[in-house]
Amino acid sequence: MSAEIDFYELLEVERTADDKVLKSAYRKLAMKYHPDKNPGCADSEARFKQINEAYACLSDPQKRAAYDRYGHAAFQQGAGGGAGGGGFGGGDFGDIGDIFETIFGGAFGGGGRQQPRRGADLRYDMEISLEDAFHGKDAEIEVEVSQKCDPCGGSGATPGTSARRCNLCGGHGKVRAQQGFFMVERPCPNCHGRGEVIEKPCKHCRGEGRVDAEQRLQVTIPAGVDNGTRIRLAGKGEAGPFGAPPGDLYIFLHIQRHRVFEREGTTLLTRCPISFTTAALGGEIEIPGLDGKVHAIEIPAGIQSGKQLRKRGAGMPVLQGRGIGDLVVEIHVETPTKLSARQKELLREFQATETGEECPQSKGFFERIKDAWTDLTE
């Protein structure tokens, strides 16, 4: 490379650029000038070599420090402050290889044939009641999923036959080709990276080694599950191709809306209307819980709407843990809309005895209104 071309200018970065910025800039430029992208272009090939040289230097902390101090002279024969191991020429291209393996599908690779990939994971959405979430349950589900082909045992070959080694790649699963300055390795186009070729595909699965079929599965739902709880059934997902291991099946739970209770974690919440006489005098109400018990809730005299009363240990169980949450009852005082003549008479008698002390909040509010009006009129 010509000594006049600055490495930082080549990569189009500032001299203070960190490793992340350097790699990003190199990746972008390498893709732009790669010989595969510009076949037959000598200028692009030359620029590609320059970019590689610049990145190999600046991505190495010792070489970069030497370059920052001495410039290109740091890598010339006999120069002081060399970058170790005989200067730049014998640099480690391992990181560059990693990048090209990502960009160009293994150009710097050499890992042999592709391993059979594991089957895909699957998702199943299941709706259950709040009662089921409280007690837990065993359920059966049906899913259509790819399963290993029985006639060929997942091999994809007709029973009695087997796959043979690919003649094109010799069973390696990859072939090499010269691409300008580099020797590039790609998946074999004949066997698609498997290293084997099926001459007589199984008629049942058409050489895939798997077929779609209905599957009945038993699912155990533990007590205390909530919306979004995920249950994993290992190995019950999609079968892998050519006998590869299957994926997993994930069951996502959704809790149906309950007609009485709402849920917040392990707390059950319900809203209970009471008469204004019960609110004034106090009393007791009974709430049937999801646990099958009837829970008595004491109403203190003078309770107001919106007040929450808590019953310990009457809520939801803790998922895969110990303990039970609480039941919270929110009180709403209900004003009667249908009164008999006698009831109206009794209420008028009560009204005649009111002094204002019975409802301190009302008294305080109207006193503030009175004071505010006085201030406005004076």
Instruction: Classify residue 112: in a domain, yes or no.
Output: no
Strands annotated E in the chain? 122-128, 137-148, 164-165, 174-179, 182-187, 196-197, 210-221, 230-233, 249-255, 262-264, 267-275, 283-288, 294-299, 308-311, 327-334
The 10 Å Cβ neighbour count of residue 111 is 12
Sign of the Cα torsion 97, 98, 100, 104 reads positive
Binding annotation: 149, 152, 166, 169, 188, 191, 202, 205
Q: Are residues 369 and 298 in the same domain?
A: no
| 59-88 average pLDDT score | 63
Backbone φ and ψ for 374, nearest 5 degrees, come out as -60, -45
Q: What was the pLDDT predicted at 104? A: 46
Please tell me whether residues 210 and 300 are part of one structural domain. no
C-alpha to C-alpha distance for 213 and 104, rounded to whole angstroms:
37
Do residue 148 and residue 235 come from a single domain? yes
Choose the most confident range, by mean pLDDT, from 81-90, 184-193, 218-227. 218-227
Same domain for 271 and 213, yes or no, is: no
Q: Which residues contact 125 (CB under 8 A, 6 or more apart)?
A: 251, 252, 254
Question: Over pLDDT 90: what percentage of the chain?
Answer: 37
Residues 277 and 173 in one domain: no
**Encoded tokens for 115:** 């391993």
Residue ranges at the known binding site for Zn(2+): 149, 152, 166, 169, 188, 191, 202, 205
Q: In this structure, are 229 and 125 located in the same domain?
A: yes
Is the domain of 214 the same as that of 131?
A: yes
- Clarify whether residues 176 and 229 are in a common domain: no
Does a structural domain hold residue 232? yes
Q: How many domains does the chain have?
A: 5
Structure-block tokens of residue 336: 């009667």
Contacts of 231 (CB under 8 A, 6+ apart): 219, 220, 221, 250, 251, 253
For residue 138, the cross-strand partners are: 220
Residue 85 belongs to a domain with what CATH number?
1.10.287.110
| CATH at residue 215 | 2.60.260.20
Does 179 lie in the same domain as 143? no
Please report which confidence band the pLDDT of residue 196 belongs to, taking 50, 70 and 90 as the band edges: confident
The answer to the question of residue 367 being in a domain is yes
Range of the domain at 317: 262-334
Burial of 222 per CB tally in 10 Å (0-12, 13-18, 19+): middle
Domain final residue, candidates 257, 275, 301: 257
In this prediction, residue 3 carries a pLDDT of 45
pLDDT average, residue stretch 309-333: 93
Query: How long, in residues, is the chain?
Result: 378
Judge if 319 and 367 occupy the same domain: no
Tell me if 1 is assigned to some domain. no
> Are 199 and 192 a contacting pair, CB within 8 Å?
no
Same domain for 219 and 144: yes
97 with 48, same domain: the answer is yes
* Structure confidence at residue 113 as a pLDDT band (50, 70, 90): low
- 42-58 helix and 61-70 helix, angle to the nearest 10 degrees: 100
Provide the mean pLDDT of the chain. Answer: 83
* Predicted pLDDT of residue 241: 81
